[in-house]
A and B are shown apart, each in its own frame.
Chain A
Amino acid sequence: MESFTNRKKVVSDKPMTFIEKLYLPSIFSGMMITMKHILTRKKTIKYPEEIRVFAPVYRGQHVLKRDEEGRENCTACGLCAVACPAEAITMVADERKRGEENLYREEKYASTYEINMLRCIFCGLCEEACPKEAIFLTDRIVPTEFERANFIYGKDKLVESMEDRIDISLRQNTGKRGAI
């Protein structure tokens, strides 16, 4: 039959020649292969001392960004919750009171904002949906916990603090605000 691919191999069951029956040539060639492996550089990364560098587009634990003056970007519009295919995001919107202008950038803000890290699939659609550049995925790994309840991250874990800002400069150009 005509073959459609070039992967076809003709198998033969011809008896082994004397040299093949000795097995020694094949043993030596096998030993040469293992010797090559002895001499190659090992690709192991010794974890605690050396940490693997993440790809720039790695999607890990989320962060809710503040702007330069320390005000929260999020306006609780809910687009991220709508975009989320895993339905991991919930929020409660609230109105900014007088005197809270230094805390929230616009008149509306999220009084609670929760991401269930067990539901989250880290697809990054929330980041794409956000019109305010408020939520970003970072190169941080969600730590393990013993209780399921601990995996529901509230604003205490998600919002960055001004002393310890999370660098997301590699992810800023996601083609949202700047591109339009």
Chain B
Amino acid sequence: MDTALLIEKFTLVVIIFLISLGVAAYSTYFERKLAAWIQDRIGPDRAGPFGLLQPIADGVKMFMKEDFIPKNSDKWLFIIGPGISMFTALITSTIIPWGPPIEIFGRQISLQIADFNIGILFIFGVVSIGVYGIMIGGWASNNKYSLFGAIRASSQMISYELAMGISLITIILLTGSLSLTDIVKSQHGMNWNIFYQPVCFLIFFICSLAETNRAPFDLAECESELVGGYHTEYSSMKLGLFLFAEYVSMFISSALMAILFFGGYNFPGMDYFDGNTLAILGVLAFFTKTFLFIFVFMWIRWTIPRFRFDQLMHLGWKTLIPAAIINMLITAIVIAFHKGWF
């Protein structure tokens, strides 16, 4: 491996890490703003112009708080819980193709840290580990509320992961590849998957809401029943990491939805551009789509009340999974028919 490649990848990793954290930080600000607007308020506007320094103030506050570890908790697991949460939230960003390849110093640099040929499987693997952070944190707290939150999170994760995986099989069938790069490339221009698979998108979107533990599926936190759910006992930056991980994973799932269904960095009329112009426009298009999804996530959170637990399970097992299976079968039959297998 040559040094240039190392430097290139290292820079990319640092940039993407910073972007993920920055976007997550500012989505906390935007979430508060949006909540305020929906409730006819103004929202944070004291720290800096329009309150733009609010995330920094929040971060400083989190660091300054007393870092408390309960006496009867499992200390090692208690500390490692938020770490796992944050780690799994961030690591998904490695395989996301952020834009078309860019050319600097005569080198083709692909804006993707690692192009796995099993990209989608990798995402599923990592996202399912994400629940371990919540589970371990909730269990190690030695608190009934936390345990309830953790149990809910894991059962919810199991039920929704199934529907999510089955719904994505249709995309794999359409593209014929598990690699995210191929999936994006197959949606060139305006040839987006959403036009072929609207039902699949709906299922995937609902499951993403459940996977990121966002309202209306935030039963793991559920502040009106479980105090704080899995993070009841957490304080200081450990709590901050848990909350932050939620926003990072929201950013990543929005990016994923943009890639899988809305063409990633593809935009209509992209054939008129080439080289670095195309790359920059592509990255802009990709981020626009991602931010749009983040907005929709928040919009839904402040509109819909939380599901009851049995309703959640009902929706997952009796509605989404059958719908995903039927959708997959129909797609498979149509593709097989189209290719002349019958």
Enumerate chain A interface residues (CB-CB to B < 8 A): 27, 30-31, 33-35, 37-38, 40, 42-44, 46
Whether the pair B299, A35 counts as a contact (CB closer than 8 A) is yes
B38-66 contact mask (Cβ, 8 Å, vs A): 1 or 0: 11111001000000000000000000000
A42→B303 CA distance, assembly (Å): 18
- Judge whether B116 is part of the interface by a CB distance below 8 angstroms: no
Q: Is the CB of B42 within 8 A of A44?
A: yes
Residue numbers in A under 8 Å from B69 (CB-CB): none
- Would A27 and B41 count as touching, CB distance under 8 A? no
Residues of B within 8 A of A44 (CB): 41-42
B14-52 to A contact mask, C-beta < 8 Å, 1/0 = 000000000000000000001001111110010000000
Partner of A42, one of B34, B42, B299, B300: B42
CB <8 Å contact, B40 and A42: yes
Return B118 CB to nearest CB of chain A, in Å.
Answer: 33
B38 cross-chain contacts in A, Cβ below 8 A: 34, 37-38
Known contacts A44-B42, A46-B42; is-contact A38 B303 (Cβ 8 Å): no
Bound-complex Cα distance A42 to B42 (A)? 7
Contact check: which of B37, B39, B304 meets A30 at CB < 8 Å? B304
Q: State which of B34, B45, B300, B304 has its C-beta within 8 Å of the C-beta of A38.
A: B34
26 examples of A-B residue contacts, CB within 8 angstroms: A27-B303, A27-B304, A30-B303, A30-B304, A31-B299, A31-B300, A31-B303, A34-B299, A34-B302, A34-B303, A37-B37, A37-B38, A37-B39, A37-B40, A38-B34, A38-B37, A38-B38, A40-B40, A42-B37, A42-B40, A42-B41, A42-B42, A43-B40, A44-B41, A44-B42, A46-B45
- Report the minimal beta-carbon distance from A29 to chain B, rounded to whole angstroms: 10
We find that the number of chain B residues with CB closer than 8 angstroms to chain A is 13
Main secondary structure of the interface of B (DSSP, over half): loop
Write the residues of chain B forming the contact surface with A, with a CB cutoff of 8 angstroms: 34, 37-42, 45, 299-300, 302-304
Q: How far is the CA of A27 from the CA of B265 in the complex (A)?
A: 29
Residue among A30, A40, A42 with the highest chain B CB neighbour number at 10 A:
A42
B residues in contact with A30, CB < 8 Å: 303-304
Q: A38-B34, A40-B40 are in contact. List 17 more A-B contacts (CB 8 A).
A: A27-B300, A27-B303, A27-B304, A30-B303, A31-B303, A34-B38, A34-B299, A34-B303, A35-B299, A37-B37, A37-B38, A37-B40, A42-B37, A42-B40, A42-B41, A42-B42, A44-B41
Task: List 6 A-B pairs, minimum CB-CB distance, nearest first.
Answer: A38-B37, A34-B303, A34-B38, A44-B42, A30-B303, A31-B303
A148 to B37, CA, bound (A): 41
Contact partners of B304 in chain A: CB under 8 A = 27, 30
A73 CA to B300 CA in the complex, in Å? 64
> A residues within 8 A CB of B40?
37, 40, 42-43
B303 surroundings in chain A (CB, below 8 A): 27, 30-31, 33-34
Look across to chain B and name the residue whose beta carbon is closest to the beta carbon of A43: B40
- How far is A38 from B298 in the complex, measured between Cα atoms in Å? 12
A residues within 8 A CB of B37?
37-38, 42
Tell me the smallest distance from the CB of A46 to a CB of chain B, in Å.
Answer: 7
Q: Residues of A contacting B41 with CB < 8 Å? A: 42, 44
**In chain B, what residue has the closest Cβ to A36?**
B38
Give the docked Cα–Cα distance between A33 and B303 (Å): 9
Residues in B whose Cβ lies below 8 Å from that of A46:
42, 45
Q: What A residues does B34 contact at CB under 8 A?
A: 38
Give the residue name and chain of the A residue nearest to B36 (CB): A42
Please give the distance in Å from A20's CB to the nearest CB on chain B.
14
Distance in angstroms from A34 CB to nearest chain B CB is 5
CA distance in complex: A34, B303 (Å): 6
- A27: chain B residues at CB < 8 Å are 300, 303-304
A42–B33 CA distance with the chains assembled, in angstroms: 12
CB proximity of B308 to chain A, nearest CB, Å = 13
In the complex, which residue of chain A has the Cβ closest to the Cβ of B305?
Answer: A30
B205, chain A: closest CB distance, angstroms: 11
Q: How far is the CA of A140 from the CA of B317 in the complex (A)?
A: 64
Chain B: minimal CB distance from A33 (Å): 8
Question: Within the complex, what minimum Cβ distance (angstroms) separates B326 from chain A?
Answer: 15
Which residues of chain A have C-beta atoms less than 8 A from B45's C-beta?
46
CA distance A30 to B215 in the complex (A): 15
Minimal beta-carbon separation of B298 from chain A (angstroms): 10
Q: How far is the CA of A42 from the CA of B40 in the complex (A)?
A: 6
Output the nearest chain A residue to B39 by Cβ-Cβ distance.
A37
Contact partners of B299 in chain A: CB under 8 A: 31, 34-35
